[in-house]
Amino acid sequence: MMNQNDMEYNRSIADYRNEDTGNSSNFTKGLFIGGLIGAAAALLFAPKPGRELRGDLSYRMGEVSDKTKEVACVVGDKASEIAKTVSSKTTDLAKTVSDNTSTVLSSVKQATADVTDEARKASENVAEEAKKASENVNSEAQKSSNNIANEAKNATSQVAATSEKATSEANRELNRSSNHSSTNH
């Protein structure tokens, strides 16, 4: 996914590539310099007196020197311009990378915080559910224990009542039997 800075950078690179890179200009300069060198060679081989030849050479050397200075100045200006463009694009690219790195780091930190928060909440929920389950088991055990104790108490009371009743009846029977036997004697 390209952001605005990436698109601008790509557009600038395309514009730079489409610019006149100076090929025709370089050719013309080369042709001119070649012509000067050819003229100097022609002067050297032309039948002229030494003084006149030296004057022509001096004049031509001055022209070549001036043209060389002009070419060097133009090349220096172009190199400076290209260096500024490269520097600007490098700065933009570094800023884009930095911004994207910050965004990614921020997203990772947020995701980590979200996962940590969800894990903490899940842990708290599990602990709460375990506590409730433990309380429910404890409550049910208490109820069951109380029910068993009450049933045992009721059973004991019933056994005691039945035992008391049986003892009473046995005593009555014994008394009747004793009375019946004492009356028969």
Taking each helix axis from N to C end, the angle separating 23-45 and 50-184, rounded to the nearest 10 degrees, works out to 150
Tens-place pLDDT, residues 97-132: 888 888 888 898 999 999 999 989 988 998 898 888
pLDDT value at residue 155: 84
8 in Cβ contact with 96 (< 8 Å): no
Across the chain, mean pLDDT equals: 80
Coil, strand or helix at 57: helix
pLDDT value at residue 110: 92
pLDDT value at residue 43: 66
**Eight-class DSSP state of 49:** -
pLDDT value at residue 145: 85
Dihedral angle sign, alpha carbons of residues 129, 131, 134, 139: negative
Residue type, 28: T
pLDDT value at residue 46: 67
Give the CA distances from residue 179 to residues 62, 132, 142, 170, 172, in Å, rounded to whole numbers and listed in that order.
171, 69, 54, 14, 10
For the chain, which ranges sit under pLDDT 50?
none
What is the rounded distance in angstroms from the CA atom of residue 97 to the CA atom of residue 90?
A: 10
